């Protein structure tokens, strides 16, 4: 039976696992589509328009926001970022799930959008603050000052855990991925994700009356 796609939102403080689990989910189910953001920043070497980002001017971006063509948007470090609505709607209407790697503010905007009824939101918590710092330091990508800034921001992210449908403590990657898969598979079967159910029930009802 046909189903609508889900808008799967994965969030966490930096270092707690949302990007890792996004990649694992894409490897688990190749039909998953990752939401390609629009941005006003300049392309970096090797980035491809339409694949890595939808690159646009600030005036084009503002017009999309004004025309209600964005599911969520934000201004970060001098540039605008956002999730265009049209490709997401086309995907879920075709029964394909769309994955979002966003913070709590982006998650709230998506849930409040016209497609909010199809949202599945999952938040990843670290097993401890000490482990969160260790993971950030082990990347070897950030300065001590940047890590301190990310750690400071992490509590603001964690404080919004109650607004998510599911919360997973990411203490073991494989075990957490298994729980995440179970959640996604169950949510795909939600009554409101199956648009043909009402017609099927009516057909059963007609068949029942015919037998009577």
Q: 168-182 pLDDT, tens per residue?
A: 999 999 999 999 999
pLDDT of residue 77: 75
pLDDT of residue 166: 98
pLDDT of residue 212: 66
Question: Which residues in the chain land under pLDDT 50?
Answer: none
CB 14 within 8 A of CB 30: no
């Amino acid at each position: 039976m046909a189903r609508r796609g889900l808008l799967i939102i994965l969030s966490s403080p930096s270092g707690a696992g949302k990007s890792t689990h996004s990649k694992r989910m894409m490897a688990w189910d190749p039909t998953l589509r990752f939401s390609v953001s629009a941005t006003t920043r300049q392309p970096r070497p090797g980035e491809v328009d339409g694949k890595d980002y939808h690159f646009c001017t600030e005036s084009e971006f503002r017009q999309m926001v004004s025309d209600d063509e964005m599911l969520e948007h934000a201004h970060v470090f001098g540039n605008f970022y956002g999730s265009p609505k049209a490709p997401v709607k086309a995907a879920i209407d075709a029964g394909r799930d769309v994955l979002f790697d966003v913070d709590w503010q982006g998650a709230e905007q998506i849930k409040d959008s016209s497609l909010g009824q199809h949202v599945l939101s999952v938040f990843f918590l670290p097993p401890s603050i000490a482990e969160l710092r260790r993971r950030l330091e082990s990347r070897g990508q950030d300065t001590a000052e940047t890590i301190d800034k990310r750690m400071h921001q992490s509590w603001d992210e964690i404080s919004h855990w109650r607004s998510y449908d599911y919360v997973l403590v990411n203490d073991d990657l494989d075990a957490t991925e298994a729980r995440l898969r179970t959640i996604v598979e169950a949510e795909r079967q939600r009554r409101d994700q199956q648009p043909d159910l009402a017609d099927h029930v009516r057909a059963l009802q007609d068949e029942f009356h015919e037998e009577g």
